[in-house]
Amino acid sequence: MDTLLRETVNAVVNSRFPEMSIEGRRQIESILIREEFPKGVIALNEGEVAHELVFVGKGMLRQYYYKNGKDVTEHFSYEGCIVMCIESLLKQVPTRLIIETLEPAIIYLCPYDKMLQLAKQNWEINMFYRKILEYSLIVSQTKADSWRFESARERYNLLLETHPEIIKRAPLADIASYLLMTPETLSRVRSGVL
C-alpha cells in the first residue's frame, strides 16, 4: 500500500470536497499513476497536450510560460495541490504552459478520461471534479484582480499570508515573475523599502 498515495488523495480531496466518502477516495486512488522526478525536470512541455490532472504528493512544481523571451510563473504547486493546464486538458489542444519540478517530486497522474468516467458513475466524484474547476476559476480571477488592482507590496503580502510555503521554498526569481515584478523590486519589497 502506497501511504503517500492515500495521504495525497486525502489532502487533495479535503481541500476541495472534504465530505467525500472513503469509497469515493478509494475510487480516485485506483486510477492514479505514480511518477517520480528529480529537481529541474520538465514534466509537461509547451506544445504537448495535457491528458492528466496532477496531484502533488511531494515536492514543489511551477507552471510558467514565455512572454517576450522571459519566463513568467503562472502557478506554484506543492504537497496536496492539484496542477493542471486547464485549457489543454479540457480542449485537448497543445498547451502554452510548462510544468517544471523545483524540488525532487512525487506526483500522481489522474487520467482525465478516467476521472470523467468516475464522475459519471459517482455523484461525489462529480462534485469533487466540479469543485476542482470552480477553485481553478476563483484562483485565476483572484490572481488577475491582484495584478490589476494591488501594489507590488500588497501582492507580496498576500502571497506571504496565503501561501508561505512558496516564499520559503521557491527561488526568488520565480517568485518575482509570479508577482509580475523584477527580482530587484521583490528585494526592495522584502526589505521594506517599497
Given a cut of 80, is residue 1 above it in pLDDT?
Answer: no
How far apart are alpha carbons 169 and 171 in whole angstroms? 7
Is the CATH number 2.60.120.10 carried by domain 1-123? yes
CA 95 to mean position of chain CA atoms: 15
194 pLDDT band, cuts 50/70/90, is: low
Give the tens place of pLDDT for each residue, 70-100.
999 999 999 999 999 999 999 999 999 999 9
Domain boundaries, the chain: 1-123, 149-193
Least confident window among 14-28, 45-59, 66-80, 144-158: 144-158
Q: At residue 46, what are phi and psi to the nearest 5 degrees?
A: -55, 135
Give the tens place of pLDDT for each residue, 6-18.
999 999 999 999 9
Helix 152-162 and helix 183-191, axial crossing angle in degrees, nearest 10? 70
